Amino acid sequence: MTQIRKLLTATAIAATAAAFAQGAFAQTATPAGGEAPTMAPGAAPAMAPSQAPAAAGIAQPAPAPQNLTAPQPTDPLVQKRNANAAASAEYRSAKKSASTEYGDAKKQAKTQYKSQVKDAKINRKADRQANDSEMKDQMSGQSAQQQGGAQQP
């Protein structure tokens, strides 16, 4: 772990030092003749293109962003470790998404089951009430026939 950290910091330091050296060299560079640049009286000092003031109404393009990345390792064990780490991360994300999909499907099935049970309870209660009322009607009809039949003789 510390070797990787050292490699990354050394790469970053080397890149910034190289960028700084190029910028400083561009500002202090002398012409091909070896003479220092001369300035006309009253003329403004020359500035690097990145430091030049913007002309009226013309915006300067932003400098291109520099991506500092470590070079790809050539060691096959390091490449295998990186590939394994990437595959593991992909597997974990796929597993997590599958788990959430399964959980959602399970919740939906559970709510559907509960609604079916509730409907079944309501239907059962309605059937019982219908059967009770039918039985009461039959019982009251039989009792009326029995009472009517007993009075006739």
**Alpha-carbon span 13 to 97, nearest angstrom:** 40
Residue 61 lies in a domain: no
Residue 146 lies in a domain: yes
**Alpha-carbon span 116 to 110, nearest angstrom:** 10
pTM above 0.75, yes or no: no
pLDDT tens readout for residues 111-141: 999 999 999 999 999 999 999 999 998 888 7
**Alpha-carbon span 68 to 65, nearest angstrom:** 10
Residue 60 lies in a domain: no
Domain total in the chain: 1
Residue 8: which of 79, 72, 69 has the closest Cα?
Answer: 69
Residue 17 lies in a domain: no
Residue 152 lies in a domain: yes
Rounded average pLDDT over 74-82: 92
Q: Which of 72-76, 82-86, 114-118 has the lowest mean pLDDT?
A: 72-76
Residue 34 lies in a domain: no
Residue 132 structural domain: 103-153
Residue 57 lies in a domain: no
Residue 114 lies in a domain: yes
